[in-house]
A and B are shown apart, each in its own frame.
Chain A
Amino acid sequence: MNHPILMATLLLAPFVGFLINGLRYKRHSANLAGVIATTAVVISFISAILLVVDLVGLPPETRVISVKFFEWISVASLKINAGFVLDPVSAIMILVITGVGSLIHLFSIGYMHHDAGAAKYFAYLNLFLFNMLILVLGDSLPVMFVGWEGVGLCSYLLIGFWFTDDQKAAAGMKAFVTNRVGDAAFLLGMFILFLSFGTLTFSEINQLAPTDPTLAWMNPVTLGTLFLFIGATGKSAQIPLYVWLPDAMAGPTPVSALIHAATMVTAGVYMIVRLNPLFLAAPNTMMIIAIIGALTVLLGATIGMTQWDIKKVLAYSTVSQLGYMFLACGVGAFGAAMFHLMTHAFFKALMFLGSGSVIHAMHEEQDIRKMGGLKKYLPITHWTFFFGWVAIIGLPPFAGFFSKDEILAFAFFSPLGHEALWAVGALGATLTAFYMTRLMALTFWGKSRVPKDTHPHESPPTMSIPLIVLGVLSIVGGWIGIPHVIGAILPGHPENFLEHWLHHSIKPIPGLTPFDVTTEWVLMGVSVTLAICSAFVAYHMYVQAPQKPEKVAKAIGPVYKVIYNKYFVDEAYFAGIINPLVKASKGLWYYIDVNFIDKTTYVISDVVRGGGSLVRSLQNGNIQVYAMYISLGLVATLLFLLVR
């Protein structure tokens, strides 16, 4: 097949869907819009599969399909093409995006069928996919940035989808503004890279990246990667810019699943993986990424333990899981990061959709204190959610186990890693097991606390089919990256397929020695045991002895309060950044703008107006007088020419 045509189909199918639904959003019914949008994405998915099949057919060394559509910007030495490139890394991404995207579109048909603005919703969703694909496939930073900004816009639009609610509109704004900070850093990083490398194309940057790492801080590579990483923290909700993600749960639940769990938030991780040779050349940045990632794991997990809103719990869990990916990036395990990105996309999308199903069943109730015992009402949702749960807490042989343990192993063994990082990761896994079990327990198990006037019911097939598919993927998704130690004892010795696949796209960590098999088994056992124990504790606390949690909370009172209030980060931001900024702006407005600039312009305009009223008498509207001026001008010109 023709690659440019396939690529164009892949990219433009969602865009066409966006146009169809977006231009006629008042006419299309929810179902029609949903079918159109889903068809568009499925077309995209099919072309993605065809493209990836072609990609597999290429020899591993040159496994790249690049397509250049037209020259976009050409200024002096800056030449940017509207070029797109498909390599093993982006292949994983487009499959995840279009595949999970199709499922979520399908789910949305059922979820949004009662909403008046469904066509608009589907239009936004399609636009999002279009931008996400541009982000993923773009062959240079500016092209990626187009998608980067585009997904930001769609995220804003979809978080504030029910904009008549002030809080939800504000949540959208928060996401947008927070992302702006990151985007500014991203742009700065881009400028620095262009200054030092003279190009913005990924392949060229990666080729030009210095091979020996530099430890200097004020080095363009370090600074550039650092700024890019700050950009990534904005989009991927890491400390310190994670605050928007929990609020983003104001949007429709499938949006949370698609944008704020599976795809957009992983953009930062993806960007770092894309530029992995460059980041490897900046160990300082890598260290910061690892530390930030580890901290975010803990932060997300702890806050997640205390939340009562089913979506908030999942949101903090997402923050925490994204922390794992950054931790992986930070220790140089880019393949592991991609692996976790993929498995996370499966199980977190599954859980979000499951929560959507629950919320749908509970008539828009999100507080888990008012749920419980939903197992018997929502069997499909429960069982699929159950597989998501086992995947995320890292029980072998489910998806999360393989990816998380690979990250932990790298954190331990990698020369860029540290035992402390492994410890934090393992602690995070323990906490994850706790809060996820808590969520399961409070929602599905135990006694029903459902208010009498709500009658939970199982969702329609359009919603349950995606759940089932994702549930299966959550089970088997991890099997493409089975670590060597486990592969060695399994019958048939399955090899680590993912590692092979990414082999040529990802630079190996310098100085990495083969893992010590015994240590690896021990580490694996420790983390799995911790997780299982923690899950049992949680099960005990929330199912068998429901009064215990309160006691524990009281016992650790102040700590609990701090965590429950999300470490007062929002408040701190308000006090430390936003309020001073607002005050300073007001001061600037009053003293500089009103009293100085405005007055100056008034003086200027008064002078001009005075002069104008003098000159106005010349311009009396009589064209013949104008013609006279023209002829006088002619006379003057001729006179000048003659006298000269």
Chain B
Amino acid sequence: MLSTDLFTQIGLGHYLVLSALLFCCGMAGVLLRRNAIVLLMSIELMLNAVNVSFVAFSRYLGQQEGQIMVFFVMTIAAAEAAVGLALAVSIFKRFREVNIRYFEHLKG
């Protein structure tokens, strides 16, 4: 059982739980914060959580593919941050505010 191993040996389960917790933190941020930039940061957090589980699987299943995926995810996350922040700056220039509700004006 996990409980006996909890403080004696670290296994895949530990990393997965850590990843899940980080993911939930990120998700809470996405759901609850109003500042668009904090939202973007929360998304980065979620992506990182996924990366943790990727690397953990890669290590414990002995496959390099997981690390490649992490590499790609990082790249895409950075690209997303760049474009997201560029958008945020545009919004800020227009409304002097980065509250997420201003992004609703993008519809229609």
Contacts and interface: CB of A to CB of B under 8 A. Distances in A.
Contacts of A620: 104
A628 interface: yes
Contacts of B31: 624, 627-628, 631
A624 B104 contact: no
Contacts of A623: 100, 103-104
Interface string A621-638: 111100110010000000
Nearest to A622: B104
Contacts of B107: 621
A622 B101 contact: yes
Interface in A600-633: 620-624, 627-628, 631
B27 interface: yes
Give the size category of A's interface with B: under 10
Chain B interface, >50% SS class: helix
> Which of A620, A622, A624, A628 has the most CB atoms of chain B within a 10 A radius of its CB?
A624
Contacts of A622: 100-101, 104
Given A622-B100, A622-B101, A627-B30, 4 more contacts: A620-B104, A621-B104, A623-B100, A624-B32
Give the size category of B's interface with A: 10 to 19
Contacts of A628: 31
A621 B100 CA distance: 10
Nearest to A620: B104
B83 to A, nearest CB: 15
Closest 5 CB pairs of A and B: A621-B104, A621-B107, A627-B30, A624-B31, A627-B31
Nearest to B42: A627
B21 to A, nearest CB: 15
A622 B104 CA distance: 6
Interface string B9-40: 00000000000000000010011100000010
Nearest to B104: A621
A611 to B, nearest CB: 20
B27 A631 contact: yes
A631 B39 CA distance: 15
Interface of B: 27, 30-32, 39, 100-101, 103-104, 107
Contacts, number: 20
Nearest to B106: A621
Chain A interface, >50% SS class: helix
Contacts of B100: 622-624
B103 to A, nearest CB: 7
A624 B101 CA distance: 9
Contacts of B39: 624
Nearest to B24: A631
A492 B106 CA distance: 90
14 contacts: A621-B104, A621-B107, A622-B100, A622-B104, A623-B103, A624-B30, A624-B31, A624-B32, A624-B39, A624-B100, A627-B30, A628-B31, A631-B27, A631-B31
A628 B103 CA distance: 17
A368 B39 CA distance: 85
A358 to B, nearest CB: 65
Nearest to B30: A627
Interface in A514-535: none
B84 to A, nearest CB: 12
Contacts of B101: 622
Contacts of B27: 627, 631
A212 B17 CA distance: 81
A258 B103 CA distance: 63
Contacts of B30: 624, 627
A622 B32 CA distance: 12
Nearest to B101: A622
A253 to B, nearest CB: 57
A621 B103 CA distance: 9
Contacts of B104: 620-623
Contacts of A621: 104, 107
A292 B107 CA distance: 66
Interface in A398-429: none
B68 to A, nearest CB: 25
B18 to A, nearest CB: 18
A631 B32 CA distance: 13
B87 to A, nearest CB: 12
B4 to A, nearest CB: 23
Nearest to B33: A624
A638 to B, nearest CB: 11
A620 B31 CA distance: 15
Contacts of B103: 623
A334 to B, nearest CB: 66
A631 B107 CA distance: 22
B40 to A, nearest CB: 12
Contacts of A631: 27, 31
Interface in A573-604: none
B72 to A, nearest CB: 22
Contacts of B32: 624
A627 B24 CA distance: 13
A621 B107 CA distance: 7
B15 to A, nearest CB: 19
B43 to A, nearest CB: 10
B50 to A, nearest CB: 13
Nearest to B103: A623
